[in-house]
């Protein structure tokens, strides 16, 4: 598939890619749908700053006026933050229609991976990935993120799968798709707000250089698909597993009662969990994104040195 005629690469990002310098992709759904204004804009700009401080060029990805953008300006980030959920949440199925109609779209993990790959960006930092939803054996509600990881060669650095999901089934699905799940400094899959989940990762890796070497080997072998790096939220910002579990169970119950489903599910659950935890989950969310951005930038730098 070639969508390059719809692609605009920010000049700074294009120059870095051409020169073989490290670049880190960032999604825009976290700006428009993940947090309220103005924290969403502050967080997005801070993430870009952290990436620069760690030696890489940030490339926030979005769709504006039907154009696929790899690298946003501060003004464009502000625009996304202010419009918020009025901007369409764009997964793979939405790209063609949004481009044809000249509309805006906030990129998910799936579409950020796609556009990053089109632009030649290999490393992507986000908060958490989507996965297999609880009850998926009857609803078939499985995030497109998992399919994309199975076919698009981008490394995704995250804090694990969101703990509103069925983590065991999510790992099984990734195994079926041949996606390696690496734990950075951990043998256990982190669960977004918490460092523990009770599920193991495929491999523990302890340095950004080793992460880069693993991904370089995967690409050099010609293996199709991405690589998932799970980076636990820093200890001081982690929430107790029992606190977050209780909030998630309550939120899921309310979600089912209200008949919310499809792409509305995750934003509802994350917002409700934030309310139930007194806003603590939003603070945790911001800190884990910063932590992932730092690791992604360090890994991208090592990748370019190999």
Tell me if residue 69 is catalytic: no
Burial category of 123 from C-beta neighbours within 10 Å (exposed 0-12, middle 13-18, buried 19 and up)? buried
Tell me if residue 162 is catalytic: yes
Q: How many CA atoms lie within 13 A of 163 on its CB side?
A: 31
Of 209, 205, 186, 207, the closest CA to residue 197 belongs to 186
User: Which one of 27, 48, 78, 148 is the catalytic residue?
Assistant: 27
Q: Give the C-alpha separation, 167 to 173, whole Å.
A: 10
**Residue 268 in tokens:** 């509802």
Q: Give the C-alpha separation, 72 to 8, whole Å.
A: 10
Of 88, 74, 75, the closest CA to residue 32 belongs to 88
User: Which one of 69, 122, 162, 294 is the catalytic residue?
Assistant: 162
Q: How many CA atoms lie within 13 A of 274 on its CB side?
A: 15
- 92 CB-near residues (< 8 Å, 6+ apart): 110, 111, 114, 144, 147, 148
Of 5, 59, 22, 94, the closest CA to residue 303 belongs to 22
**Catalytic residue annotation:** 27, 162
């Amino acid at each position: 598939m070639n969508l390059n005629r719809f692609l605009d690469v920010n000049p700074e990002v294009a120059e870095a890619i051409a020169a073989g310098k490290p670049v880190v992709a960032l999604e825009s759904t976290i700006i428009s749908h993940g947090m309220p204004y103005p924290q969403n804009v502050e967080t997005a700009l801070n993430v870009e700053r952290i990436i620069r401080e760690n030696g890489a060029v940030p490339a926030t990805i979005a769709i504006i006026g039907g154009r696929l953008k790899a690298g946003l300006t501060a003004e464009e980030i502000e625009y996304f933050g202010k419009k918020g959920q009025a901007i369409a949440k764009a997964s793979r199925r939405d790209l063609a229609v949004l481009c044809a109609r000249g509309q805006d779209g906030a990129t998910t993990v799936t579409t950020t991976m796609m556009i990053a790959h089109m632009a030649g960006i290999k490393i992507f930092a986000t908060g958490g990935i989507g996965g297999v939803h609880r009850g998926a054996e009857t609803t078939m509600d499985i995030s497109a993120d998992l399919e994309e990881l199975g076919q698009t060669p981008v490394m995704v650095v995250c804090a694990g799968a969101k703990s509103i999901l069925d983590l065991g089934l999510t790992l099984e699905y990734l195994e079926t798709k041949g996606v390696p799940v690496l734990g950075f400094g951990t043998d256990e899959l982190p669960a977004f707000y918490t460092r523990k989940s009770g599920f193991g990762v495929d491999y523990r890796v302890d340095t950004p250089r080793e992460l880069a070497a693993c991904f370089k080997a995967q690409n050099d072998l010609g293996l199709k698909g991405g690589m998932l790096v799970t980076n636990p939220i820093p200890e001081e910002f982690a929430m107790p597993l029992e606190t977050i579990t209780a909030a998630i169970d309550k939120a899921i119950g309310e979600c089912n009662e209200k008949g919310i489903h499809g792409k509305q599910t995750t934003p509802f659950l994350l917002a409700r969990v934030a309310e139930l935890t007194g806003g603590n989950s939003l603070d945790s969310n911001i800190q884990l994104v910063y932590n992932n951005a730092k690791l992604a930038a360090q890994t991208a730098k090592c990748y370019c040195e190999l």
